Amino acid sequence: MVSPYSKLALAWPVALSLAVTGGLGGCAALAPQASQQQADGAAITVSSELPASWSTPSADTASKITLSGSADIAAPASGATPQAAWWQHFHDPQLTHLIEQAQAANTSVATARAALLQARALRDVAQAGLGPTVGLSASAQRSRSGSGATAVSSSNYKAGADASWELDLFGANRSALYASSASLRASAANLGDVQVSIAAELALDYLTLRSAQARLVIADANLAAQLDTWQIAKWRLQAGLGSSLEAEQARAAAEQTQAQRPTLLISIAQSRHAIAVLTGRPPAALDAELAATAPLPQVDEAIALSLPADTLRQRADVRGAEEKVSAAVAELAQIDATRKPSFNLGGSIGLSALTLGSLTSGSSLVASILGSVSMPLFDGGAASARVAAQRAAVTQAQLAHRAAVLAALREVEDALAALAHNTERQAHLQQAAEAAANAALLARQRYQSGLIDFQTVLDTQRSQLGAEDSLASARADQGAAMVRLYKALGGGWVPAAELAELAGRPVDLAQQTTP
């Protein structure tokens, strides 16, 4: 049975360990907090370089664009971006389903999520460096000296606890935490950037697939008409009303159209394979699901176009570049703090006795406390060189941020220009396709009646095939321009989802869409 005195003796190590830890905490509370300027000073203001509004190359496109937002980019906005789930505006359930699958199973997205988890763990490591470390130890030693009757045996039993804390007087550990926190936010933004890229890439492949299917339908329809014309030419040849030249010309036109089918079939197969891989599956996994021909998805005519400043706020790559600047600035402060004195406070308490029974006696108590200070005196200029190197790294991060801003501005302007001119091109091609179809029908009727020569029939059929094929391509180009515009505007991710991602919870972009 353990006596009350023994219980008290056993409780001493714990009590004194807590006392040492509390004392260290009180001393650390005197340490000045790292300057908030290190965290806030990393933000780069580029508003002076931003245009007041986006270019709108044509009045028709301008009428379909609604400008919204403010011109301040100092603080990132929270919540869903105006085009968070932009693919829903194409009104194609299959496209929406495929993009959601890609966001969940794509290998690049999974890799970015793993990098986010890694960054979160490293942030936790840096945060742990701000607090004390406490350890427990116990040992038992049995020794023997001499031999025979003169042999002497002895025992030694020890149990104890020790604590230590580095006083962060100059903010080195605090700067390390700022740097790792900024890196964590940059990883979250990088995940968003990957999601944006994957969604846009899959949408473009899907448009390519549907466009190739539409062009295949057009080619088959024109091939049927050309085969009918060839049959008419053969009948006229048999009736003595035509020549073998006309029949061979009709055959050549049909064979040329037939030769386009393999090229389109290759494009269809490759698009299906690309979509399957983007969704994290083998290339042939979606062949059956995507085999049926479906119409080319048409996006809403109108789009809510944010001002340049809002675009920079909601773009994942720009935000990630800014966080990298913050991390570089914090790392510079951390490296600079290593040139200043370092203060450490430690303490230990334990029990040491020759017998296990006397381990709980008051005479077995051993306690110590230690304070130390160290400072580099001469290192051949290595510390100064590390500071200079990190200053250069800060400059590189700032330039990378500015490059990301300029690239974002260019992508939006390019997409707007493509959207405007593709709209005009599509309108003209629509008129040309209708006129070519009418001309081809009239030419076949008149040729069958013997009113025109066969060369006119061939020319009108070639014009019809070219106009309809170009119209299908223009419609796909228009959809691709819309995809690129949504991507350039930062659509495809939810900035507010960073908190959920950091907490390890999945995010449903479809539920956070802003109309």
Estimate the share of the chain in helix, then strand, then coil, as percent rounded to the nearest 5: 65, 10, 25
- Alpha-carbon distances, residue 412 vs 85, 259, 311, 509 (angstroms): 18, 38, 9, 22
Confirm if 82 and 444 have CB atoms less than 8 A apart. Answer: no
Q: 431 pairs with which residues across the strands?
A: none
* pTM of the predicted model as reported, rounded to 2 decimal places: 0.76
Compute the distance between CA of residue 470 and CA of residue 426 in angstroms, rounded to an integer.
Answer: 9
The DSSP symbol for 362 reads: G
CA–CA separation, 233 and 251 (whole Å)? 9
Tens-digit pLDDT profile for the chain (515 aa)? 444 434 434 444 444 444 444 443 444 333 333 334 433 444 444 555 677 777 765 555 555 555 554 444 433 444 455 467 888 888 899 999 999 999 999 999 999 999 988 988 888 888 888 888 888 888 888 887 777 667 777 777 788 888 888 777 888 888 888 888 888 888 888 898 999 999 999 999 999 999 999 999 989 988 888 888 788 778 878 877 777 887 888 888 888 889 989 999 999 999 999 999 999 999 999 999 999 999 888 876 666 666 677 777 778 888 888 889 989 999 898 888 888 888 888 878 877 776 776 766 666 777 788 888 888 888 888 888 989 999 999 999 999 988 998 898 888 888 888 888 888 888 888 899 899 889 888 888 887 777 777 778 788 888 888 888 888 888 888 889 889 988 888 877 776 555 455 544 444 444 433 32
Fold of 37-74+82-132+174-341+389-492: Outer membrane efflux proteins (OEP) (1.20.1600)
Structure tokens at 376: 């580099």
CA-CA-CA-CA torsion for 426, 429, 430, 431, nearest 10 degrees?
130
For residue 377, give every residue at least 6 positions away whose Cβ sits within 8 Å of its Cβ, in sequence order, or none.
none
How far apart (Å, rounded) are the C-alpha atoms in residues 275 and 12? Answer: 67
Residue 498: name the closest of 280, 97, 193 by CA: 193
pLDDT tens digits for range 211-231: 999 999 989 988 888 888 788
The first and second tokens of residue 416, run together, are 């707007």
